[in-house]
């Protein structure tokens, strides 16, 4: 097992979500908009950080 770190490395986190959100995520995956639940969550977190954190840092 490699311990080498890179900008493309992924860390596993566990989150609890309401069933309605999981159903919505699954619908996006079924519709082919994302390949997996993980991809949906990554996109959502990236968008949140972009709007809430990175935009504020640019001010």
- Which parts of the chain sit beneath pLDDT 70? 1-7, 57-59
Domain for residue 34, yes or no? yes
Domain for residue 41, yes or no? yes
Domain for residue 26, yes or no? yes
Domain for residue 40, yes or no? yes
Q: What's the pLDDT score for residue 59?
A: 62
Q: Would you call 35 helix, strand, or coil by DSSP? A: coil
Q: What's the pLDDT score for residue 6?
A: 53
Range of the domain at 34: 19-57
Domain for residue 4, yes or no? no
Domain for residue 36, yes or no? yes
Which tens digit of pLDDT belongs to each residue from 36-46?
999 999 999 99
Domain for residue 46, yes or no? yes
Q: Are the C-beta atoms of 47 and 34 separated by less than 8 Å?
A: no
The span from the CA of 56 to the CA of 15, in Å, is 25
In the chain, the number of structural domains is: 1
Domain for residue 5, yes or no? no
Count helices and strands (H / E) in the chain.
3, 0
Q: How many CB atoms lie within 10 A of CB 25?
A: 19
The span from the CA of 19 to the CA of 22, in Å, is 5
């Amino acid at each position: 097992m490699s311990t080498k770190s890179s900008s493309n490395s992924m860390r596993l986190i566990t989150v609890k979500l309401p069933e309605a959100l999981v159903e919505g995520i699954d619908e996006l995956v079924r519709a082919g908009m994302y390949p997996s639940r993980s991809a949906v969550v990554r996109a959502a977190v990236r968008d949140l950080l972009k709007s809430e954190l990175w935009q504020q840092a640019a001010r």
